[in-house]
């Protein structure tokens, strides 16, 4: 590695780690795949060697170029070309459901055909063509096919038998276990072409048997008539169930629409670029000058560029931070859609589906080093989660030293401390990188919530699963057992859960019709499960519930609930009308009343009655709420900056002053262990998120 400088890890695969590096001799960026061969089985080692063999045989402008390989630290290092434009999958997801023009699709297809023709001419099957293995250059014009890790070199015209490849792209003959040849690559290319024309996969299902059934039947949604009959017919022919009736590479390239695309490719791609003349800014029109500085989110005044408007802002307080401070984002174009705080974690999800965390060494402990300045501001550094290039994250939840995140396809991944079995992997092992919860692969998870030591998840079919510590009945399984893998939670009365909310020792579930179900410890009636008389006296005391039970305490028992949050010994409820109720212990004023309230009855927070509350979050002994007009209120225990405001009248909700330059709306709130995270967006912001 003395010839290369490592920059960062860009991915982790089944066989190793992928590094972005700089070649020192010419400063060129390259990819180095590090494969620890000594730890592999014989078959895995053979696959690694096979990739080197295949890459060394291929030399084409539309195939990722192979440079060299060498052994270092008991690992095989494969040096390859770096495609800066990312994958087809990422490109299609960035389209925001806007279909590609046929001309662009044919331009991409022509390049894929040329590269695949070169591969097949060497008697090689790719066997894993998919939108994640097809890459683009920086300008997103040149296609580069990569990942030949499971390619097979055929002897003469023999056929292969091993079932390999990405499930959504495998051919019917592969599903049946029949021998296959280059026509299986044609099928996979047809799936990619369908994806280009539809922005979705041709074959998808909740589980592998259902997926195979769809492939065997050849059933997929029709292609938009936005495209020509010739293109639609080509896709249908490439996805013919009978491989003998699928066209081969040469037959496809002989079709008129492809010939035109190939001619255009050869005449356009090789053109000598024109020299662009740069004129002084002063000679440009006002509108043109503003366009130079960005995509409409930056203006200029007297020829001087003005700082661009941020698409999002994230503020935090608590710990050693007494008033809200603005956290740095990866870029001014990052648009945050959700935040989550844990014991030591601060995480966020962007609009484009990336997960990042803020790192700050030494921050998160309750103790302060003697002599340290209490209100000194730590340096928070945003860092993207490694190895997420192939997935789109849409939701994150932080627990006590562990994190769970959801992809846009409903796949749940967890990492961090495995204590109490919170990761859901069937063991208590810690995990450094996000790992799929395999027990839930057959389900599409839409939301996950992490408590201190347990987790709940809800699917698109309104099923609920829980795992982790089970004491107090917090898992809702009818007992107090703990589980290290997801368990189905019984749902009463045919209710349809839509969201889950985990606390320290309890759980809450909201249904589609805005009803609230709870389980776990009902200490101080924080789960609103006591049966109370109209005067507030308790007629039936409920200490804990081991199964999900509908909220019953008046006056909130019949209320329609929009949002809930749970603290250590209290909870907060927001109704669909925007009223905020609190229940539980008021020892530190966390219920929003100026006196300690011995009653177990829920009460509306009077100070918030003039406002329509939309979001609420509970810390250990404090509460934070947001109104639809962007006001943020806090109340409860004020020690160590929990409230983000002065200690005056801490038990009464008062507004937290956010240091913003313009009006904003609240996107997401999260509280944990005395720390609060709030994501906002400007009311009049413009531009698009690139992250």
- The one catalytic residue among 128, 185, 563, 691: 128
In the numeric block, the tokens 């996107």 are attached to: 667
Instruction: Indicate the angle between helix axes 256-268 and 102-121, nearest 10 degrees.
Output: 90
d(CA 416, CA 422): 9
Q: In the structure encoding, which two tokens stand for residue 104, read together?
A: 């662009």
Alpha helix stretches (DSSP H) within 456-502: none
Q: String of b and e for 503-540 (b: at least 16 CB within 10 Å)? A: bbbbbbbbbeeebbbbbbbbbbbbbbbbebeeeeeeee
**Region for 302 from its dihedrals, namely left if φ exceeds 0, alpha if ψ lies in -120 to 50, beta otherwise:** left
Question: Hey, how many other C-beta atoms are within 10 angstroms of the C-beta on 493?
Answer: 9
Q: Is 438 helix (H, G, I), strand (E, B) or coil?
A: helix
First-to-last C-alpha distance (Å) of the chain? 31
- Beta-carbon neighbour count of residue 464 at 10 Å? 23
Are the beta carbons of 427 and 441 closer than 8 angstroms? no
CA-to-CA separations, 161 to 128, 175, 182, 185, 531, in angstroms, rounded? 14, 11, 12, 14, 66
How far is residue 318's CA from residue 79's CA, in Å, rounded to a whole number? 46
Closest CA to 467 of 492, 437, 433: 437
Query: DSSP letters along 475-497, please?
Result: T-SSS---EEEEEEPP-GGG--E
Q: Is 128 in the active site? A: yes
The residues, any chain, with a CB within 8 Å of residue 115's CB and separated by 6 or more, are: 60, 62, 63, 143, 145
The answer to whether the beta carbons of residues 579 and 590 sit under 8 Å apart is: no
What sign has the CA pseudo-torsion 443, 383, 369, 620? negative
CA dist., res. 89 & res. 321, Å (int): 41
Q: Are 7 and 23 in contact (CB under 8 A)?
A: no
Angle (CA) 228-233-236 rounded to 5° is 135
Tokens standing for residue 33: 């795949």
Catalytic positions: 128
């Amino acid at each position: 590695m003395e010839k290369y400088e490592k920059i960062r890890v860009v991915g982790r695969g089944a066989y190793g780690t992928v590094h972005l590096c700089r070649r020192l001799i010419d400063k060129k960026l390259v990819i180095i795949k590090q494969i620890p061969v000594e730890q592999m089985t014989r078959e895995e080692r053979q696959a690694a060697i096979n990739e080197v063999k295949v890459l060394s045989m291929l030399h084409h402008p539309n195939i990722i170029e192979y440079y060299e390989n060498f052994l270092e630290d008991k690992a095989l290092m494969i040096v390859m070309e770096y495609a800066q434009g990312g994958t087809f999958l990422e490109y299609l997801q960035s389209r925001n459901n806007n279909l590609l023009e046929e001309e662009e699709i044919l331009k991409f297809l022509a390049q894929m055909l040329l590269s695949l023709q070169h591969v097949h001419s060497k008697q090689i099957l790719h066997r894993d063509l998919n939108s994640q293995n097809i890459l683009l250059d920086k300008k997103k014009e040149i296609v580069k096919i990569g990942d030949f890790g499971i390619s097979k070199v055929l002897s003469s015209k023999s056929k292969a038998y091993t079932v390999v490849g990405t499930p959504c792209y495998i051919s019917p003959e592969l599903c049946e276990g029949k021998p296959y040849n280059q026509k299986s690559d044609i099928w996979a290319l047809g799936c990619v072409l369908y994806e280009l024309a539809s922005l979705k996969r041709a074959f998808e299902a909740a589980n592998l048997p259902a997926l195979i059934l769809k492939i065997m039947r050849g059933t997929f949604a029709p292609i938009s008539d936005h495209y020509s009959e010739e293109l639609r017919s080509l896709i249908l022919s490439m996805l013919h169930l009978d491989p003998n009736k699928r066209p081969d590479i040469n037959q496809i390239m002989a079709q008129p629409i492809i010939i035109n695309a190939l001619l255009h490719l050869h005449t356009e791609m090789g053109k000598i670029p024109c020299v662009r003349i740069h004129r002084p800014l002063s000679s440009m029109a006002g509108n043109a000058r503003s366009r130079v500085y960005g995509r409409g989110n930056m203006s200029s005044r007297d020829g001087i560029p003005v700082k661009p408007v941020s698409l999002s802002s994230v503020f935090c307080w608590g710990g050693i931070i007494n008033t809200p401070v603005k956290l740095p984002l990866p870029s001014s174009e990052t648009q945050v859609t959700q935040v989550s705080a844990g014991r030591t974690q601060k995480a966020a999800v962007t609009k484009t589906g990336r997960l990042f965390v803020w790192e700050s060494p030494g921050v998160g402990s309750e103790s302060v080093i003697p002599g340290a300045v209490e209100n000194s501001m730590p340096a928070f550094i945003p860092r993207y989660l490694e190895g997420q290039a192939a997935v789109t994250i849409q939701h994150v939840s932080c627990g006590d030293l562990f994190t769970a995140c959801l992809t846009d396809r409903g796949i749940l991944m967890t990492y961090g401390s495995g204590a109490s079995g919170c990761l859901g992997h069937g063991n208590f092992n810690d995990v450094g990188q996000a790992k799929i919860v395999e027990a839930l692969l057959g389900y599409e998870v839409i939301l996950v919530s992490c408590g201190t030591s347990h987790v709940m998840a809800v699917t698109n079919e309104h099923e609920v699963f829980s795992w982790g510590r089970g004491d107090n009945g917090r898992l809702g399984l009818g007992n107090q057992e703990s589980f290290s893998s997801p368990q189905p939670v019984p749902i009463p009365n045919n209710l349809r859960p839509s969201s889950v909310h985990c606390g320290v020792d309890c759980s809450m579930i909201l249904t589609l019709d805005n009803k609230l179900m709870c389980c776990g410890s009902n200490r101080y009636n924080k789960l609103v499960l006591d049966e109370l008389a109209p005067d507030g006296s308790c007629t039936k005391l409920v200490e804990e519930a081991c199964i999900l039970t509908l909220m019953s305490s008046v006056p909130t028992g019949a209320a329609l609930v929009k949002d809930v949050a749970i603290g250590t010994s209290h909870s907060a409820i927001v109704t669909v009308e925007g009223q905020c109720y609190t229940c539980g212990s008021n020892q530190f004023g966390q219920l929003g009343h100026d006196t300690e309230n011995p009653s177990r009855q829920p009460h509306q927070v009077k100070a918030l009655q003039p406002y329509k509350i939309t979001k609420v979050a509970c810390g250990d002994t404090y509460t934070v709420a947001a109104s639809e007009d962007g006001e943020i209120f806090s109340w409860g225990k004020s020690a160590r900056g929990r409230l983000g405001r002065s200690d005056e009248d801490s038990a009464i909700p008062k507004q937290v002053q956010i240091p913003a330059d313009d009006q904003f709306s609240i996107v997401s709130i999260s509280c944990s262990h005395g720390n609060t995270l709030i994501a906002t967006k400007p009311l009049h912001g413009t531009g698009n998120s690139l992250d």
